Every structure is written in structure tokens, then in C-alpha cells.
Structure 1
Amino acid sequence: MTRTAVLLLVMLTALPVAAQIYSWKDKDGKTHYSDIPPPSGPVKTIRGTPVPAPVAPPVDEQEEGKAAGEQPAADDGKPKTLAEREEEFRKRRAAEAEAQAKAQQEQEREAERQRFCEDARNQLAALNSGQRMARMNAAGEREFISDEARSADISRLQRQIDENCSN
């Protein structure tokens, strides 16, 4: 039992020793440390076996035009750098958030339209029922609705329902 525990302890302490750690400076002069080397630029290996510096590919006439100021093609077969992948990820997240916000606004508008339609239909049903109805006037007094006002309200509500409530 003790031998197994000692062997396990020795094996676990040896694992971090096998890892490689790299150090490099970015274009702003900031020093980075990672277990993954950067895709380009000089790399200093702090622990582990040294990594050879990346060799620049030969430049042909087509790539000379790109170096002279033309934009390279979006997908030229090279693996994307971490910064490019991160930028694409941020763009996708922003687009998804924008689409989600737009969908939520559309749902809120639809819910508001449904409430309006339901209220208008209920008011129209109450006006068509023929029962005696009253409103509060500007002075805060209760006044009964005349037949002319009732028919005007019925036509107004029916027009609003026809315009806004398709189903």
C-alpha cells in the first residue's frame, strides 16, 4: 500500500516537468507565457525542448502584390491565428446577440398587438350588446353614452380591428 502511494506521488510530480513553456513578445512589446507557441515570431522556450523559429515561406510574384498593399484572400489555406479566430467569435456573438434582441423586440410588439386586439374586441362586444354604458367625462363625472356616440365607437373599433388584427 505504501509503495503504491509513493509510486503514484512520484508519477504525479513528474507530470508538470514534461510540459513545455514558451515566452514571446507581441507587437506591443507585451511579454506572454503559454504552453502553446505563437503561430509566428521569435519564441523563447523556458522549459522543455526548444522550438525552432518559424521560417517565412518563399515569396512569389502573386504574394508580392499582396505585400505591396493588396488585401489577401480571406481563406488562403493558412490556419487562422488566435486573434483572427477571437475576432470572428466576437463578431458571431455580436450578430447572435443582435438577432436575439431583434427577435425579442418582435415578440414584445406581437404581444402588445395581441393585447390591443383582445381589448378592442371586448369593447366592441360590450358596445354591440346594447347594454347601457357610461364613461367618465373631462370633469370626472359619470355620463351615459348616447346612441350616436355608441355607433361612432363601434365603427371606430371595427376599423381598428380590421387594420390591426388580421387573425
Structure 2
Amino acid sequence: MKIVQWLVLGCLCAMPLAAAAQWQWVDKDGRKVFSDQAPPPEIPDKNIVRRPGAPVARHAASPAAETPDAAPSPLPPSTASGPKPSGVDKELEEKARKAEEAEKAKQAAEAQKLAKTRADNCGRARQGKATMDSGIRVARVNAQGEREIMDDKARAAEQQRLQSVIDSDCK
């Protein structure tokens, strides 16, 4: 039973160490933010209050932080100014840009195909409407394969259908 008590005590003593690996910064609205991840790049270095593994820094508004004999940051200057983009990031950005261009090209091709289809539908509908308006007899083939002459009611319904196609596709 003694071993369990020592393990619990050891875990309790180690808990504050996990909290020490936290970032702390002041966001653009003036609120303190605590996180286990680095702040976003748009947060200036002066707003970062605490870094993991670094001693607690004072807030930029305090007069002690503005004195010239304040202790320098323990981090090297290259990391203190923020993360620098590496070649991998540039490659990723290039791939994303190319994928975006390919998507735009695909959408443009689809739009062009749709415009061509509408133009074809428009031409066929106008030709059919001209045939219906001419007054000549028009025959259709029914489901049994027999020819049927369209009566006035069927002709009027077809003229209405063709007019709606013209209204939607001929713009």
C-alpha cells in the first residue's frame, strides 16, 4: 500500500510540470490566452508572456520590461522573432495554388460545357417552335411505334413546353 501512496504523491508533484509547458500571450482583444501550442504568427513578440521552458517574462506594458538592462530572451534571435517559413511551406503553398487553379479551370470548363448545351437546346427549341407555329401537320411516334398526328390540344401543349425551354435557355 505504501507504493501506491508514493506513486500518487509523485503524480501530484509532477502535475505542475505539465502546466509549465504552456504558452501564454495577450491576444488582439487584450485577453490572456493559455495554450500548449505556439501563438499564431500575427501575435507580436512583445505580447508573448510565457514560452515553454523559458522563465516567466513580464508583460510588455510593465516598466521593468522596457528597461534596457532587462534580461535578454533565452531563445535564439531567429526563433524569438517568430517561425520562419521553410521550403516545405513554400512547396505546400505552390501545390495549394496549383490545385486552386486546376479547380478554377475545371469550373470554367463545366460552365463552358453548360453554355454550349444551353445554346444547343435553345436552337432546337426555336426550330421546334417555328415548326409548331407554321401550322403544318406534325406526327409523333407513340409507345407502340405507330405514327399519330398531333391534334390542336397536343400542339398547344408542345408550343407551351418549347416556349418555356426558349425562356430558360435562350438568354
Query: Normalising to structure 1: TM-score of the pair?
Result: 0.53
- Provide the residue aligned with 2:153 in structure 1: 148
Structure 1 runs (4+) greater than 4 angstroms displaced: 76-79
Q: Does the 8 Å CA contact 2:140/2:147 hold for their aligned counterparts?
A: yes
Q: Calculate percent identity across the aligned residue pairs.
A: 36
Match of 2:129 among 116, 124, 146: 124
Distance 1:68 1:122, change over 3 A: closer
Distance 2:118 2:82 in 1: 51
Aligned residues: 103
| Structure 2: runs of 5+ lacking an equivalent | 1-24, 27-33, 44-80
- Matches of 1:68 and 1:103, distance apart in 2: 40
State the 1:159 CA deviation.
2.4
Matched, 1:100 2:105: yes
Residue matched to 2:39? 70
Evaluate the alpha carbon distance shift between residue 125 and residue 68 of structure 1 in structure 2; reply closer, same or farther with a 3 A threshold: closer
> Partner of 2:76 in structure 1?
none
The normalised TM-score by structure 2 is: 0.52
Q: What secondary structure does 1:135 align onto? A: strand
Q: CA deviation at 1:154?
A: 1.0
Superimposed CA distance per residue, residues 62-82 of structure 1 (whole angstroms, 9 cap, x where no aligned partner): 9xx9x96212249x7986421
Pairs within 5 Å for 1:29-40: none
Task: Assess if the C-alpha contact under 8 Å between 2:41 and 2:83 holds in 1.
Answer: no
Match of 2:118 in 1: 113
Q: What is the one-letter code of the residue matched to 2:40?
A: Q
Q: Counterparts of 1:125 and 1:71 in 2: how far apart (Å)?
A: 66
Ranges in structure 1 where 5+ consecutive residues have no aligned partner = 1-60
Separation in structure 1 between the aligned mates of residue 86 and residue 154 of structure 2, nearest angstrom:
72
1:31-83 per-position Cα deviation (integer Å, ceiling 9, x unaligned): xxxxxxxxxxxxxxxxxxxxxxxxxxxxxx99xx9x96212249x79864211
Q: 2: CA distance between counterparts of 1:154 and 1:89?
A: 54
